[in-house]
């Protein structure tokens, strides 16, 4: 009875419904993109009507929004923040810097592809993406969650060694802590 | 046997009622803020979705025993205080555990949740938690004094320490206590602003200053428990104030109307106010509320 | 009567009287260059600060003259009375460059020295400061040197998104598609 497939489907449906309609967002403002977020969250575009809400610490957050380029120094902190978040967790890469390096494509100190280091569920392209694009990114993430396809955290768990190898290529002497599942 | 069954069912119904009403009030709070800021705002049931999601999250943080006990203390304190507040004036349902000294007991019990929280937050070792706890306890010292003074004034004036006694006084005289001792009401309402710790008194969980303070290490299910406890406790405070100052409520509709009207005071006061600093908050409570508290006691004595 | 001197020329003469073999140049209004040797720099800075009123330290930067095999350090100081920017320039050998520590004259030079040590590899013996400043775990050559090949380093260290290897110039295709012309000034930026 309890392992009934239909029952599980219903539970999954409810879980996904709540997860997609209540996203606690930790906006990691690394670059210029952070300036788009106040507009997204306040009166003009009001992301709170979609259930997106700011979280103060990684422990409370579901969604890590990385706004802009990541220097190798920042990447360390981002990895630590990502690993402190609790499952289920999602990552949105914001701006072309997280996609292919953007205007920092030949910088000696700025990583180019974010998804080689932590799994990214949705990308928002543009330089800068306007608040409309950010909200469209949220909607895309919601669609993925509803379909059960936003499984970046699972991917990270399964391919942890691959991710660690990539991370260690950049962060040479940084003690990467053991993952706290 | 039958009365015990009714009591247990009534207690469960009370918890459910407090949870649902508190959650909807939380949603209404967010909606009101949004409308005042000219936003659409989240749906009024948004807090239910949040809590359900938080309960379905995995929680794998371990900082020690007290960290796991902190949210439990908070929720226990909320439910215990709920049990001692008469929700409706008549009928066996929702009467729960009233006894003749329950006002004194409640004044003590309402602090217990914060203390449990403080213990739990202290165990996490997060510096923001420690700062948040210090701020919270300082603020409690601020608002507890006028609140207790208002309660003492009422107790001396009407020679009763029970909430049902207060309700009986109001039913006999026909006037609400907020009119028969307005100074006590003023002091208690100003203390209530601090109890809810909405803006401008949200110094404990200020996200921009101390990263949500005591709860900064609590995620997932623990945060869900905090939210549940918070909404139940909000209902407890509102029901207590309605019982003492507004003549209680004879049925649920009246209860909801009265509590909602009372709830709008801290909400609306908060929407238009920026956050105080800690010492500003404490001096706020130690000025006018304290003054009204003294006047209330003098008014009650003579 | 004798010729009147501008305040810039007065400063240049003051410096030349105080230091032998110092070459000075009045570049424009409010700007004076002084080309000093490595040993003179700290005494010039101290003299300008104590005697001439150049109390404000503006900037310390480094220029890589790869062709002549030298680094050039530029100390910029400013006086609130004369409102002149005094540039004290000195050349260092590019092999094992080292410069006297001057952070006791102005404390904020410390930060600039840390940055220059990290980015150009110029050593400041006797200078106390954390080894790592902006870069962490850096094992390669100092990255602001001109012989450091950034692109090669980036290609070695970071990843390229797949499907972008050809790096085609699609501007002409887009211009043709939308029926526009590429303006002349933009043509010289073509990748070919």
Residue C66, both tokens: 């790869």
The span from the CA of C77 to the CA of C70, in Å, is: 22
Q: What are phi and psi of C72, to 5 degrees?
A: -115, 125
Domain spans in chain B, listed from the N-terminal domain onward: 2-301
Q: Measure in Å the smallest separation between the Cα of A81 and chain C Cα atoms.
A: 19
Contact A57 B41 (CB under 8 A): no
Average pLDDT, integer, range C72-100: 90
Interface of B with A in 103-162 (CB under 8 A): 128
Check whether C1 has a pLDDT greater than 60. no
> What pTM was computed for the model?
0.82
Could you give the ipTM of this predicted complex? Answer: 0.85
Residue C3, both tokens: 């010729």
User: Please, which chains are in contact with C (at least 3 CB pairs closer than 8 A)?
Assistant: A
| Residue linked to tokens 């809400």 | A53
- Domains, in order of start, for chain C: 7-187 (3.30.460.80)
| Mean pLDDT of all residues belonging to chain B | 85
DSSP-derived 3-state class of residue C90: strand
Q: What is the pLDDT of residue B107?
A: 84
Q: Measure in Å the smallest separation between the Cα of C189 and chain A Cα atoms.
A: 16
Average pLDDT, integer, range B229-251: 86
Check whether A178 has a pLDDT greater than 80. no
The span from the CA of B50 to the CA of A109, in Å, is: 39
Contact B38 A42 (CB under 8 A): no
| C160 contact residues in A (CB cutoff 8 A) | 100, 112-113
* Residue A109 forms contact with C (CB below 8 Å): yes
Domain spans in chain A, listed from the N-terminal domain onward: 5-170
Q: pLDDT tens digits, residue range C158-169? A: 887 777 666 677
| Residue linked to tokens 């040590």 | C117
Q: pLDDT tens digits, residue range B98-144? A: 766 688 888 888 888 788 888 888 888 888 888 888 888 888 888 88
Check whether B96 has a pLDDT greater than 70. no
Locate the DSSP E strands across chain C: 23-28, 31-36, 56-65, 70-78, 85-93
Q: What is the pLDDT of residue B100?
A: 65
Residue C93 CB contacts under 8 Å (≥ 6 apart), including other chains? C69, C70, C71
Average pLDDT, integer, range C49-73: 90
- Residues of C in CB contact (< 8 Å) with A are 134-137, 139-140, 143, 148, 150-151, 153-154, 157-161, 164
Query: By the 8 A CB rule, do C120 and C144 touch?
Result: yes
* Residue B76 forms contact with A (CB below 8 Å): no
The span from the CA of B188 to the CA of C184, in Å, is: 76
| Residue linked to tokens 């060694």 | A161
Residue A77 CB contacts under 8 Å (≥ 6 apart), including other chains? none
Distances (CA, A) of B201 to B218, B284, C102: 21, 10, 51
Q: What is the CA radius of gyration of chain A?
A: 17
Residue A90 CB contacts under 8 Å (≥ 6 apart), including other chains? A23, A62, A63, A64, A121, A122, A141, A145, A150, A152, A153
Check whether A12 has a pLDDT greater than 90. no
Of B221-235, B241-255, C48-62, the least confident: B241-255
Question: pLDDT-based confidence at B28, cuts 50/70/90?
Answer: very high
CA-based torsion, C43, C44, C49, C55: positive or negative: negative
One-character DSSP codes across A34-86: GGHHHHHHSTTT-GGGGTEEE-SSGGG-SEEEEES--BHHHHHHHHHHHHHSP
Considering only the top CATH level, what class is A5-170?
alpha beta
* Exposure string over B248-286, b if 16+ CB within 10 A, otherwise e: bbeeeebbbebbeebbeebbebbbeeeebebeebbebbe
């Amino acid at each position: 009875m309890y392992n009934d497939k239909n029952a599980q489907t219903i539970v999954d449906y409810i879980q996904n419904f709540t997860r997609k309609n209540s996203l606690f967002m930790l906006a990691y403002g690394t670059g210029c993109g952070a300036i788009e977020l106040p507009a997204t969250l306040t009166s003009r575009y009001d992301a709170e009507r979609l259930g997106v809400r700011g979280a103060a610490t990684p422990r409370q957050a579901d969604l890590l929004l990385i706004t802009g380029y990541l220097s190798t120094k920042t990447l360390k902190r981002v990895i630590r923040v990502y690993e402190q978040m609790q499952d289920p967790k999602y990552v949105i890469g914001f701006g072309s810097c997280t996609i292919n390096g953007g205007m920092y494509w030949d910088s000696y100190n700025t990583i180019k592809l974010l998804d080689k280091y932590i799994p990214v569920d949705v990308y928002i392209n543009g330089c800068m993406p306007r608040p409309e694009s950010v909200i469209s990114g949220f909607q895309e993430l919601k669609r993925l969650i509803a379909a059960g396809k936003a499984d970046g955290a699972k991917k990270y768990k399964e391919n942890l060694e691959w991710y660690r190898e990539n991370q260690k290529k950049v962060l040479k002497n940084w003690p990467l802590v053991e993952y706290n599942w | 046997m039958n009365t015990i069954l009714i009591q247990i069912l009534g207690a469960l119904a009370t918890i459910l009622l407090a949870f649902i009403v508190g959650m909807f009030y939380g949603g209404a709070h967010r909606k009101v803020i949004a409308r005042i800021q000219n936003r659409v705002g989240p749906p009024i049931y948004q807090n239910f979705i949040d809590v359900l999601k938080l309960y379905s999250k995995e929680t794998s943080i371990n900082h020690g025993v007290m960290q796991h006990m902190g949210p439990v203390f908070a929720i226990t304190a909320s439910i215990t205080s709920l049990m001692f507040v008469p929700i409706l004036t008549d009928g066996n349902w929702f009467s729960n555990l009233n006894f003749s000294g329950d006002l004194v007991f409640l004044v003590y019990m309402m602090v217990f949740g914060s203390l449990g929280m403080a213990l739990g937050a202290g165990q996490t070792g997060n510096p923001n938690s420690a700062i948040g706890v210090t701020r919270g306890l300082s603020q409690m010292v601020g608002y507890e004094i006028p609140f207790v003074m208002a309660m003492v004034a009422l107790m001396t004036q009407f020679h009763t320490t029970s909430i049902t006694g207060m309700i009986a006084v109001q039913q006999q005289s026909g006037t609400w206590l907020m009119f028969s001792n307005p100074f006590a009401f003023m002091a208690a309402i100003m203390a209530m602003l601090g109890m809810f710790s909405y803006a401008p008194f949200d110094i404990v969980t200020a996200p921009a200053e101390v990263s949500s303070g005591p709860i900064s290490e609590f995620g997932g299910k623990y945060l869900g428990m905090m939210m549940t406890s918070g909404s139940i406790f909000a209902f407890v405070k509102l029901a207590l104030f309605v019982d003492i100052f507004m003549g209680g409520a004879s049925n649920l509709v009246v209860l909801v109307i009265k509590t909602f009207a009372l709830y709008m005071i801290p909400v609306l006061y908060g929407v238009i106010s920026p956050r105080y600093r800690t010492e500003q908050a404490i001096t706020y409570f130690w000025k006018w509320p304290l003054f009204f508290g003294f006047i209330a006691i003098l008014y009650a004595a003579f | 009567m004798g010729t009147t001197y501008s305040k810039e020329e007065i400063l240049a003469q003051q410096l030349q009287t105080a230091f032998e073999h110092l070459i000075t140049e009045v570049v424009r209004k409010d700007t004076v260059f002084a080309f000093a040797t490595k040993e003179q720099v700290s005494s010039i800075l101290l003299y300008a600060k104590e005697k001439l009123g150049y109390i404000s330290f503006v900037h310390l930067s480094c220029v890589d003259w790869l062709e002549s095999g030298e680094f050039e350090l530029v100390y910029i100081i400013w006086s609130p009375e004369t409102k002149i920017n005094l540039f004290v320039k000195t050349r260092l050998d590019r092999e094992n460059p080292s410069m006297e520590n001057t952070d006791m004259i102005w404390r904020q030079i410390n930060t600039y020295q840390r940055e220059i040590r990290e980015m150009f590899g110029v050593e400041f013996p006797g200078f106390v400061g954390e080894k790592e400043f902006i870069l962490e775990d850096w094992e390669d050559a100092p990255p602001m040197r001109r012989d450091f090949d950034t692109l090669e380093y980036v290609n070695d260290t970071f990843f390229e998104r797949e499907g972008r290897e050809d790096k085609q110039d699609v501007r002409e295709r887009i211009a043709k598609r939308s029926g526009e012309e590429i303006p002349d000034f933009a043509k010289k930026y073509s990748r070919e």
